Amino acid sequence: MRAFAFNQYKQPLRETDVPEPVVGDHDVLVAVAAAGLNQLDEKIRQGEFKLILPYKTPLVLGHDVAGTVIAVGAGVRRITPGDEVFARPRDHRIGTFAERIAVDEADVARTPSNVSASEAASMPLVALTAWQALVEKGGVGPGTKVLVHAGSGGVGTIAIQLARHLGAHVATTASAANADFVRELGADVVIDYRTQDFEQELSDYDFVLDSLGGENLEKSLRVLRPGGKVVSINGTPDPAFAKEAGLNPVIRLVIAGISRKVRAQAKRLGVTYEFLFMRADGAQLQQIADLVQAGAIRPVVGATFPVAQTPEALASLTTSRVRGKTVVTGN
């Protein structure tokens, strides 16, 4: 079976031949029509997540898929062959840069009928990230003041729409060229990150979704009201994440040490810092699909590549900026 994998960390992605997926009792076998690309794919290839996601190589990358179910395991009840589905396969079962992939039924949702395969494939990881940040960790609802960083990016485009749907007042950071675009998505306030300092412009926010880390994260702590919360997907992992992930005691101690500074800063300010590493969840993805079907959320695909150019598509994530997501199509 044709797939795209790397043999050693930091080596480029290459087309290769791999065995057909093994379909377990609770798996669905999906013929891949499109696969979304994420910064997580590139970070795994670079070895940045070796401590918390110790994959063996060679490794087929890819965390987003849309396609048609062609077979199901004996224990599958909800999905049938012929169903159009999309999913973020769970950790240690990734590999959507391939012709076919076996996915646990619990990770799968039916594709909304009003989107293309490319649009469906663009959503799972970023939409689940937005849901788990805003709904689970943030408790965002009517009147909540929310700041979403990098509003024109993959997570940002979905998070703005979801926050608006939840009734929040939404601010975002974006370039001037993308200001009208993010307003159309639902942003009430747009900060031009090139000419404005969001820390000087915003205050008393309830929740910040940080996707940049570093100084941006530290400033985000300071725009919160007392009792507010920052959830970061690019900051330092925290002890709560390490415990939930079941990491070994040595790694948990290391994480506690490297996150001490940001946690102490948050404590001094009377706010909360949490790290989010999103998880696969088909039930949540189905709720998101329902919102897409209803027109409350629309996927944003900024670039598409033929599947033969998957390595070039992955490399483009670090060399170009697109609105929303980059997707590879066809097999």
Give the CATH number of the domain where residue 72 resides.
3.90.180.10
Q: CB-based burial of residue 92 (10 Å sphere; 0-12 exposed, 13-18 middle, 19+ buried)?
A: exposed
- Same domain for 271 and 129, yes or no, is yes
Residue 66 lies in a domain: yes
- Same domain for 115 and 136, yes or no, is no
Amino acid letter, 286: Q
Q: pTM higher than 0.95, yes or no?
A: yes
- Domain total of the chain: 2
pLDDT score, position 18 = 97
- Output the domain CATH number for residue 210: 3.40.50.720
What is the rounded distance in angstroms from the CA atom of residue 239 to the CA atom of residue 251?
10
- Same domain for 10 and 75, yes or no, is yes
Beta bridge partners of 172: 148, 190
Residue 225 lies in a domain: yes
pLDDT score, position 208 = 98
10 phi-psi bin (left φ>0, alpha ψ -120 to 50, beta other) = left
Residue 118 lies in a domain: yes
Residue 306 lies in a domain: yes
pLDDT score, position 58 = 94
pLDDT score, position 108 = 98
Residue 259 lies in a domain: yes
Residue 50 lies in a domain: yes
- Same domain for 133 and 271, yes or no, is yes
- Same domain for 133 and 259, yes or no, is yes
pLDDT score, position 41 = 97
- Same domain for 161 and 75, yes or no, is no
- Measured distance between the N- and C-terminal CA atoms of the chain, rounded to whole angstroms: 11
Residue 295 lies in a domain: no
Tell me which residue range forms the domain holding 38: 2-122+300-329
- Same domain for 30 and 134, yes or no, is no
- Same domain for 236 and 159, yes or no, is yes
Residue 150 lies in a domain: yes
pLDDT values of the chain reduced to their tens digit, one per residue, 331 residues: 999 999 999 999 999 999 999 999 999 999 999 999 999 999 999 999 888 888 999 999 999 999 999 999 999 999 999 999 999 999 999 999 999 999 999 999 999 999 999 999 999 999 999 999 999 999 999 999 999 999 999 999 999 999 999 999 999 999 999 999 999 999 999 999 999 999 999 999 999 999 999 999 999 999 999 999 999 999 889 899 888 888 888 889 988 998 999 999 999 999 999 999 999 999 999 999 999 999 999 999 999 999 999 999 999 998 888 999 999 998 7
Which residues does 113 contact at the CB level (< 8 Å), separation at least 6? 293
pLDDT score, position 52 = 84
- Same domain for 250 and 310, yes or no, is no
- Same domain for 268 and 307, yes or no, is no
- Same domain for 90 and 138, yes or no, is no
- Same domain for 15 and 110, yes or no, is yes
